[in-house]
Each structure stands twice: as structure tokens, then as C-alpha cells.
A and B are shown apart, each in its own frame.
Chain A
Amino acid sequence: MDMGSNNVGGVDLSRLSQTEKQELQQFVMNEAQKARIQESIHKLTDTCFRKCIPSGAIKKAPLDKYEEPCVKNCVDRFLDANFLVLRELERLRQ
């Protein structure tokens, strides 16, 4: 957000009270957090779709009994691996 100007998307910021500004700041931080989570979900879906849905044309619509557990495992193992990397880096740092 451009802090230099008092105008955000046609709204005059100088009309906001101090409390309102703080509320907005909190709101935007929460939204940014949500956006990061959503971004991760998009990336993970991309990765897990490649891994779990056999290549080639798709005939049947929803996930079948092999694909669904595969997608769930894919998410959990991806996060396991993520934590593993963090722990390992932490260990190297010490």
C-alpha cells in the first residue's frame, strides 16, 4: 500500500481515526496471512495432482478411492519433508 498518499482506492485515509487505522492494519495482516495459506494450497494442489492422478486423459470426474488418500498423504508428507528440512537447517546452524 502506498503510504505516501492519503488516498487508497478512492478512499481518503485522513478521514480514518487512529483506532480505525489500527483495525485496518490488523485486518490487512490477517488477509495477507490468509493469502499466503491460499497460495500454498494452490502450489500443493499442483504438486499433488501431478503425483496422484495418473497421466493421460481424464475420464471419471471426482477423485477415486486411490487418488483421494494419495492426495491426503501427499499433503502430509510434503509438510513432513518441510519440517524435516527446517529441523536439519536448525541443527546445522548450531
Chain B
Amino acid sequence: MSAYAGDPKTQIMRQVQQEAAMQNARQLVEKLNEHCFERCVPKPGASLSSGESSCFTACMEKYMTAWNTVSKQYVARIQKESQNQALLN
């Protein structure tokens, strides 16, 4: 890594990638909070109950599995469509 440290092009590329990864993570965290809070904490009490906590754990895992499923399905479809497009042209 230190060999590239002085290379401005590589440095910029790395910054752009880091920024993209941060943005992606931020969006996921935001959605996880939004959905799971809505579902797991319908009536906020004095503290987060153990039931609410375990709901959160399950909800997070479910949401992330859904994210991966959507991601695979979406990318596969986009690739299929662009191939069809290429055949038409």
C-alpha cells in the first residue's frame, strides 16, 4: 500500500471507492433502523425489552437477506435486458 501512497491517481480512486462504500453502508443502516423500529417497537416503553431486541436481531437479518436477494435478482435482470438490447441493435 505504501508504494501507492504517493500515486495521486490511485489515491483519488481509493477515496472515491471509500466514499461509495460509506454511502452504501449509511443507506443500509438507515433502512434497517427505519423498518425494524417500525416493526419491533410499536409502542416505545421505558427501555428496549428483550422481545424487542430479539425482534431487531431477526429483522436485521431478514432485511439483509432481502437486500441480497433483491440485489441478485436486479443485477441478473439488468444483464438480461442489456443483452436483449444488444441483440436488437
Interface residues of chain A, those whose CB is within 8 Å of chain B, are 8-9, 11-13, 15-16, 20, 23-24, 27-28, 31, 34-35, 37-42, 44-46, 48-50, 52-53, 55-63, 67-68, 71-72, 74-76, 79, 83
Contact = CB atoms under 8 A, between A and B. Distances in A.
B40 A75 contact: no
Contacts, number: 115
A58 B70 contact: no
B70 A34 contact: no
Interface residues of B, number: 39
Contacts of A49: 35, 63, 66
Contacts of B65: 61-63
The main secondary structure of chain A at its interface with chain B is helix
B73 A72 contact: yes
B57 A61 contact: yes
Contacts of B86: none
Contacts of A16: 8-9
A53 B62 contact: yes
Contact of A38 (B16, B24, B39): B24
A67 B63 CA distance: 11
B8 A15 contact: yes
A59 B59 CA distance: 8
Contacts of A15: 8
Contacts of B67: 41-42, 45
